[in-house]
Chain A
Amino acid sequence: GIQVEQSPPDLILQEGANSTLRCNFSDSVNNLQWFHQNPWGQLINLFYIPSGTKQNGRLSATTVATERYSLLYISSSQTTDSGVYFCAVRSGGSTLGRLYFGRGTQLTVWP
């Protein structure tokens, strides 16, 4: 299956700082999603972004499919941004199917 690597594994920020999380994947994909897992364990969809750039408030994401990576940008971080950020991808020609997850980036934002 596809290998998904996320970096950094851990990130500690002061409130107000900006950050970039990276996701590398080993093969072509037709689905890439970024999730935020909050302290209660709920996975929250951030972006569906198999290619291109999207923005949602303080968060934005860019996927360069030809180079097999995606970036998640968090600007003006807040304590509520704390949690684990997962990148997940799907390979193959099927439009539906399992996702392969990275091991996540644990983000801690201090006030």
Chain B
Amino acid sequence: GAGVSQSPSNKVTEKGKDVELRCDPISGHTALYWYRQSLGQGLEFLIYFQGNSAPDKSGLPSDRFSAERTGGSVSTLTIQRTQQEDSAVYLCASSSMASKETQYFGPGTRLLVL
């Protein structure tokens, strides 16, 4: 079946503008995760959704970052008033009990804030 998809693939924006990043998880996966990867770095956790439970927002770096997951499927990560330090690759992953908890990652959105 289809894997995790993300859009857009690349996004260039000006400092101060808002951006929205989209993630479509694997069908049937109940858990969805957002991470980001700065140049040459490992992955930094941002937020985690599991079914109808309250999301784990502990990784969001500031209140400019927010995310929602509609209908238990598609998720949108919003960054308001973007700053240059927000430039990174934003990666989405999904998992389920049936997949033995393995997290499967999308191709990422490369965000560049000028």
A residues whose Cβ falls under 8 Å from a Cβ of B: 31, 33, 35, 40-43, 45, 48, 86, 88, 90, 95-104
Contacts and interface: CB of A to CB of B under 8 A. Distances in A.
Given A97-B48, A98-B56, A99-B103, A43 B41 contact: no
B110 to A, nearest CB: 8
A97 B56 contact: yes
Interface string B24-44: 000000110101000001111
* SS of B interface (majority): strand
Contacts of B30: 96
Interface residues of B, number: 26
B105 interface: yes
B73 interface: no
Interface stretch (B12-20, B61-69, B75-83, B94-102): B94-102
A98 B97 CA distance: 14
